[in-house]
Structure 1
Amino acid sequence: MSTSEIFLLAMLLIFVAPYVIWRFCKTDYFAPLVVVQIVMGIVLGPGALGAVFPDYHKFVFNPDVTRTLNGVAMWGVMLFVMLAGIELDLKKVWQYRRESATTAGLSLGMPLLFGCGAALLLMAYPGWKGAGAAGWQFMLGTGMACAVTALPVLVLLLEKLEILRQPMGQRIMRYASLDDVAIWAVLAVILLDWERMGRQLGFIAVFVVLTLLFRRLMARLGKTDRWYVAVIWLIACGFSADWAGLHFMVGAFLAGVVMDVEWFGQEELDTLFRNVLLVLMPVFFLSTGLRTKWDLGGYSVFFAAGLLLAASVGGKLAGAHLAGRMLKWQRGEASIIGWLLQSKGLIEIVFANILLDKGIITSETFTALLLMAAASTMLTIPVVHPKLNRVQNRALVGQASS
């Protein structure tokens, strides 16, 4: 078979397998399609399908096909992260800055602390820390991986729970937005390359100047031209960030942050977001799954995943409950907010990919983080849905009695 035929066969697997499971097994309550796609990316990787059918796996996912898939995945995830950056409403964050900063700080700081503790435990054993990483890089990187909140996936979950446009949904979006900014900022510190310090400082300086010019240009353009210029801006920022020794994902996120939703229209952005999820992101899930390995001590990777999951969920819940006490939230709100903010989804995979690319974590740690991301996302809806119903019913009873 030709490379093009094998590539299309791989694409068929990527799109058919998750859809069939999601549709016929009716997993939507505990595992929306995006979660099934993440899990199937792992299943189709060398750790599962490759272990059962090694010859078939090597035939379908040969180096030529894998390189092509990686290229499609890279472009798709750049668009995805840019859209996540555009979604950030920094004006709303500033309007509710005290509440937002308190909650975002605690919901980021507590899982970061718990995750650093888990990383310290893993460092006591060989095979988890990347060969080129310093101890502080591994600890901070793993800690931040436990603190990540997947803003784009959070939007999908809030829509499914029908609270995205409600006050609680908007609050959660503000908290997650601040966390997203902090996470990418800390990632830049983790990836700091002392030999490329000049490049990195130059990138920041040039980015600030060009952002001012870019925003002026976009304000004068028509909507059609804005879309085209936005794509050029995305590519330029991704290339420049990668050249500076950071990562193209950092550049893609920054490219989106400095753009306004009003330039494009919310409906158009939502349409592009759904299309990227439908057409490109399944390829990214598979491309990510191809990097999973289970070589370290058999099933010890599952222990590491459980440890990281406990740090992530426990840290988010602890931070949310502390914020709830300080800000005097209503009973039950802290638990709902904590569980929604612990959802990892795609951004966790992006974050772990960057750590793996830069040699901060090993493939085994990457696999543990991938399993943690899938588990945390799958837990969200089943846990939050009944809690949300109780809070809403309590509110209705209170209104009726008053």
Structure 2
Amino acid sequence: MTIPTTELFLIAMVIIFTIPYLFWRVLKTDYYAPLAVVQIIGGIVLGPGILGAVFPAYYDFIFTPAVIQSLNGIAWWAVMIFVWIAGIELDLKSAWTNRLETGVTAGLAMIMPLVFGCGAGIVLLNFSGGWIGPKGHDWQFIVGIGMACAVTALPILVLFLEKLEILRQPLGQRILRFASLDDIAIWGVLAIILLDWGRVGRQAMFLLAFFISAVAILKLMRAVKESDRWYLGLIWLAVVGFAADWSGLHYMVGAFLAGVVLDADLFDRTKLDRFRDHVLLAIMPVFFLSTGLRTNWDVGGLVVFGAAAILLVAAVSGKLVGVHLAGRILNWPKGEAHVIGWLLQTKALIMIIFVNVLLDKGIISNQTFTAALLMAVASTMLSIPMVTPQLAKLRNVVDKPSAEG
């Protein structure tokens, strides 16, 4: 008997939501891995490399091409909304007010892991074949890997700061400023990596039209009531995402740009937080599963784990070195750089989105994507256990204003 695609799709949805939730709740992983991280791990486990290898018949039965295509459609829209919200939430005014500390810290926290990550990319290129994608140039691969090691995932960072009860404290707000500035740099570097000289005319047209349209949409948004701003914002998101993809910059770059030009004060902060939480709850798990479906272990499990270990060392050491250098320059209290450096290690979500784009564009291979995914999960899970003991010694720092007041 042939089972309709709709029923297979719903079976897949049951699996997507049930298995990660049970692991998260039963194993009580929230200390080191919030539900979103467990869902990312669940996507890897449910992908072809693990579930597909152990139970190929069941995997092929449920995850048919039609089901995968349906899941991908939801995943595309989910992650566009998520990145759009992340762009809206960037507090550029606060970053500018505290520009010395923010610039020094965010700069070193990005540049050092970028350099270390580029070194890791060179190692992978010279170690063996199969890491670079079919359309990637060496420089794109190296810079892409470097940036993947430098990423900090702002949404997961917010969850961790809430868990540690420092989100609304001066220390937490400083960390958010550092991560916010790096977020902008990440998308800027991605745009450079994706720059297509064959489409440079389209990309120039897109950027010109975008900046003109951004002025118009801001005026329109301020002229209407808030309930209408949500609808207009989502229309704006779809239009900019399409235009960016048409130009060759990828719809994810468009989603970020669509959000970053909108001021957060256009929306009620509580509603924006709830909307982000609802997206994480209702549709982002589909993105995590679709991400897991793209993992590949063809070069061998040990080799992929070895590559992930190289990337992890580069990412962690680079970020810690950069933040400790910033701490010395800015005369932070002893131990503060340790806390900030480890909290900026949270890479899940944004880094996964970043490497998804690199994979879409053929710059990295599925094997590299898998290694980067493992690195993102590991670095994120290390953050809370490494920070908690030191933070207990620095409770007086939590109430200390930033270096610039």
> Which TM-score applies when normalising by structure 1?
0.97
Runs (4+) off by over 2 Å: 393-396
* Alignment-derived partner of residue 403 in structure 2: none
1:60 maps to 2:65: no
Alignment of 1:75-224 (within 5 A): 75-124=77-126, 125-224=128-227
- Per-residue deviation, residues 166-192 of structure 1 (Å, max 9, x unmatched): 001000100001000011001000011
Give the Cα separation in 1 of the matches to 2:380 and 2:286.
Answer: 19
* Alignment-derived partner of residue 289 in structure 2: 286
* Alignment-derived partner of residue 359 in structure 1: 362
Alignment of 1:285-304 (within 5 A): 285-304=288-307
Backbone CA RMSD of aligned residues: 1.1
Kept after mapping to 1: 8 A contact 2:166/2:398:
no
CA shift for structure 1 position 30: 1.5
- Per-residue deviation, residues 345-380 of structure 1 (Å, max 9, x unmatched): 100110010000001100000000000011111111
Letter in 1 for 2:109: S
Unaligned runs of 5+ in 2: 400-405
* Alignment-derived partner of residue 402 in structure 2: none
Identical aligned pairs, as a percentage?
61
* Alignment-derived partner of residue 339 in structure 1: 342
Letter in 1 for 2:56: P
CA shift for structure 1 position 298: 3.9
* Alignment-derived partner of residue 231 in structure 2: 228
Unaligned runs of 5+ in 1: 397-402
CA shift for structure 1 position 395: 8.1
* Alignment-derived partner of residue 252 in structure 1: 255
- Per-residue deviation, residues 107-139 of structure 1 (Å, max 9, x unmatched): 000000000000000001211111211111000
Structure 2 counterpart SS, 1:192? coil
Of 8, 12, 15, which residue of structure 2 is paired with 1:13?
A: 15
Letter in 2 for 1:252: A
Structure 2 counterpart SS, 1:70? helix
Letter in 1 for 2:359: L
Give the Cα separation in 2 of the matches to 1:395 and 1:272.
Answer: 28
CA shift for structure 1 position 98: 1.0
* Alignment-derived partner of residue 400 in structure 1: none
- Per-residue deviation, residues 318-361 of structure 1 (Å, max 9, x unmatched): 00000000000011110111111111010011001000000110
* Alignment-derived partner of residue 73 in structure 2: 71
Give the Cα separation in 1 of the matches to 2:301 and 2:325.
Answer: 38
Alignment length (residue pairs): 396
Give the Cα separation in 2 of the matches to 1:289 and 1:395.
Answer: 37
Give the Cα separation in 1 of the matches to 2:183 and 2:191.
Answer: 13
- Per-residue deviation, residues 146-204 of structure 1 (Å, max 9, x unmatched): 00000111111111111000001000100001000011001000011010000111111
Structure 2 counterpart SS, 1:186? helix
